[in-house]
Chains A and B, each alone.
Chain A
């Protein structure tokens, strides 16, 4: 791949929540392509480019841990904010956490490390000054120096990701020698379509490597 990049990411914990088990969160076994895209976008992104994930290498055994936390069950209601704005008074605009307490367990991955193989494509929103080389340079420079727009995370923000750029032609760290069927996995969310439908694909781990179908592939189901 001409404009391919390889980024190693690691962290003590990760939670790539399965959409069907999002109340008491259960993580997928492996990082989803959309989470990988989010990590790359945290380092460099412009509307002119679109990150495409080619493969995800799993470098450490897949293990889980359970964490239960007190959470709130409510979002900030827009109506109350509007009332406060109109009245020019903040009274009553607060969320009282112990009155809306939910205890939720999360089943999260522990001690993870991945290599993300990806490339980007130029989108229709690109201007004349957007060349592939320019964006690749920016990404490589940032990733090499540890610069980022915001610290990337492994699924949720409390699980920060350490990242490291690997050279495009150097050897890859060895993936776990495991082959398993991961079932249907979230590929990404179609942000352009109405209702933002989720897209899925049949994920298979082959010798520790998850190949991700390209956008528009027939392997991607709605």
Chain B
């Protein structure tokens, strides 16, 4: 695998239509909000989860592309049980393996093994309890919180279900009932949706850290592919319609880079599209209609005076 020779930054723009891109466990699963500005938030870990899920789905455990931090039940766990039946001497291995690695060399071997086999360890890093230098792998890809372009107003949608969870609940409901058939067994729930939100996420790829984990050009290509397609495979009742809209990559000609990341990010500007013209979004109350579709926004990329050694690649 060819090692990465260039530093990269990327801006991912994605949107949500009548869905909840990232629920806040502190606020009863309401879409995350920055309480000071009312801008919507999506955490870095939420996006990384989707990248992992995409790679797991699209590559299905191809050599070197396994996913360590997985979601849900895994069929392999069942296979392992069968494996254990076949190899009764396994418990011995388990027992012996309770020991920590004996030295730096062994810890390094364990880290290399994990990096070689698992895409997410190689990309995002992982903390492994090897006991030596905390056994940490720091991955080359770093992502930050995604922000919505404008403040969002989440809607609370009450919904009903025509069934009760338990017999007890059914009896209780019937007792308080006025006798009408329609109310019988009915429970109510809530959904929280963002009518429309365009979110912007920033990411960094360090070539120097990539050298250490063996993150190569193929992995970078897969990462971008995942960023482009991850929402296509993350459909659910809660998410509504989510889609990656733009992926703008800044490629530096060297591993250390040629420009400040924040100055490159400033080159991608999100404004409102008013009759085909770009309008700056600022903190004043503009009389824009609430945005409800991607075409309500205009994206501008400033290519003037790009620093030497930086290339803009529009992936999406």
Binding site for B on A (CB under 8 A): 12-13, 63, 65-72, 75-87, 89-98, 103, 105, 110, 142, 145-151, 153, 157-160, 162-164
B contact residues around A157 at 8 Å (CB): 142
Check A65–B117 contact: CB distance below 8 A.
no
Decide yes or no whether B34 CB sits under 8 A from chain A: yes
Whether the Cβ atoms of B24 and A72 lie closer than 8 Å is no
Residue B73 at the chain A interface, CB threshold 8 Å: yes
Q: Do B70 and A147 touch (CB < 8 A)?
A: no
Query: A-B contact count, CB below 8 Å?
Result: 159
A145 to B24, CA, bound (A): 38
Q: Can you list 30 A-B pairs with a CB-CB distance of less than 8 A?
A: A12-B145, A13-B145, A65-B36, A67-B41, A70-B25, A75-B127, A77-B128, A78-B110, A81-B128, A85-B109, A85-B113, A87-B93, A92-B76, A93-B68, A94-B67, A95-B69, A96-B74, A103-B25, A142-B256, A145-B257, A145-B258, A147-B254, A149-B256, A151-B142, A151-B206, A158-B142, A158-B143, A159-B145, A160-B204, A160-B261
B71 at the interface (CB under 8 A from A): yes
Q: In the complex, what distance in Å separates the CA atom of A122 from the CA atom of B117? A: 39
Inter-subunit contact A79/B206 (CB<8 Å): no
Residues of chain B within 8 A of A65, CB atoms compared: 34-36
Q: B41: which A residues are within 8 A, CB to CB?
A: 67
**B77 on the A face (CB < 8 A):** yes
B261→A146 contact, CB < 8 A: yes
What is the interface size of chain B, counting residues whose CB is below 8 A from a CB of the partner? 69
- Which of chain B's residues 253-312 have a Cβ closer than 8 Å to chain A? 254, 256-263, 307
Query: How many angstroms between the C-alpha atoms of A93 and B68 in the bound complex?
Result: 7
> What residue of chain B has the Cβ atom nearest to residue A150's Cβ?
B206
Task: Among A81, A98, A164, point to the contact of B110 (Cβ < 8 A).
Answer: A81
In the bound assembly, the distance between CA atoms of A93 and B258 in angstroms comes to: 40
Taken residue by residue from 217 to 232, chain B's Cβ proximity to chain A (1 for < 8 Å, 0 otherwise) reads as 0000000000000000
Q: Does B260 lie within 8 Å of A162, measured CB to CB? A: yes
Interface code B5-24, partner A: CB below 8 Å = 1, 0 otherwise? 00000000000000000001
8 closest residue pairs by CB, A with B:
A146-B260, A79-B97, A162-B262, A150-B206, A68-B26, A147-B256, A76-B128, A151-B204
B64 CB, nearest partner CB in chain A, Å: 10
Cβ contact of A82, chosen from B26, B110, B254, cutoff 8 A: B110
Write the nearest CB–CB distance from A98 to chain B, whole angstroms.
Answer: 6
What A residues does B109 contact at CB under 8 A?
85
Further pairs besides A78-B110, A85-B113: 12, Cβ < 8 Å: A75-B129, A78-B101, A78-B131, A81-B113, A82-B101, A84-B113, A85-B110, A96-B74, A98-B72, A147-B257, A148-B257, A158-B43
Beta-carbon contacts under 8 Å, B94-152 to A: 94, 97-101, 107, 109-110, 113-114, 117, 126-131, 135, 138, 140, 142-145, 147
B93 touches A83 (CB 8 A): yes
Spell out B's residues near A (CB within 8 Å).
Answer: 24-26, 32, 34-36, 41, 43-45, 49, 61, 66-74, 76-77, 79-80, 83, 93-94, 97-101, 107, 109-110, 113-114, 117, 126-131, 135, 138, 140, 142-145, 147, 202, 204, 206, 208-209, 254, 256-263, 307
| Cα–Cα distance between A142 and B76 once the two chains are bound (Å) | 47
Tell me, in angstroms, the Cα distance from A72 to B124 when the chains sit together.
15
Q: Are A66 and B128 in contact (CB under 8 A)?
A: no
A145 touching B145, Cβ below 8 Å: no
> In the assembled complex, which residues on chain B have CB atoms less than 8 Å from the CB atom of A12?
145, 147
Contact residues in A for B262 (Cβ distance below 8 Å): 162
- Evaluate contact between A160 and B144: CB separation under 8 angstroms: yes
User: In the bound complex, what is the Cα–Cα distance between A33 and B65 (angstroms)?
Assistant: 39
CA gap between A75 and B128 in the complex, in Å: 5
Report the minimum CB–CB distance from B7 to chain A (whole Å).
8
Check if A110 sits within 8 Å of B36, measured CB to CB: yes
In this complex, which of B35, B204, B258, B260 has the most chain A Cβ atoms within 10 angstroms of its Cβ?
B260
Report B-chain residues with C-beta under 8 Å of the C-beta of A71. 45
- B254: chain A residues at CB < 8 Å are 147
Give the CA-CA distance A66 to B43 in the complex, in Å.
13
Contact yes or no, A150 B142, CB < 8 A: yes
A82-B101, A97-B71 known; A158+B45 contact, CB < 8 A: yes
The answer on a CB contact under 8 Å between B44 and A158 is yes
- Chain B residues lying within 8 Å of A150, measured Cβ to Cβ, are 138, 140, 142, 204, 206, 208-209
With known contacts A75-B128, A153-B142, A160–B202 Cβ distance under 8 A: yes
Scoring A66, A95, A146, A163 by chain B CB atoms within 10 A of each residue's CB, the highest score goes to A146
**Of A67, A82, A149, which one neighbours B208 at CB under 8 angstroms?**
A149
Tell me the complex Cα distance, A159–B143, Å.
8
Partner of A77, one of B44, B76, B129, B209: B129
Tell me the minimal C-beta distance from A42 to chain B in angstroms: 9
A66–B26 touching, CB < 8 Å: yes
A87–B83 Cα distance when bound, in Å, is: 11
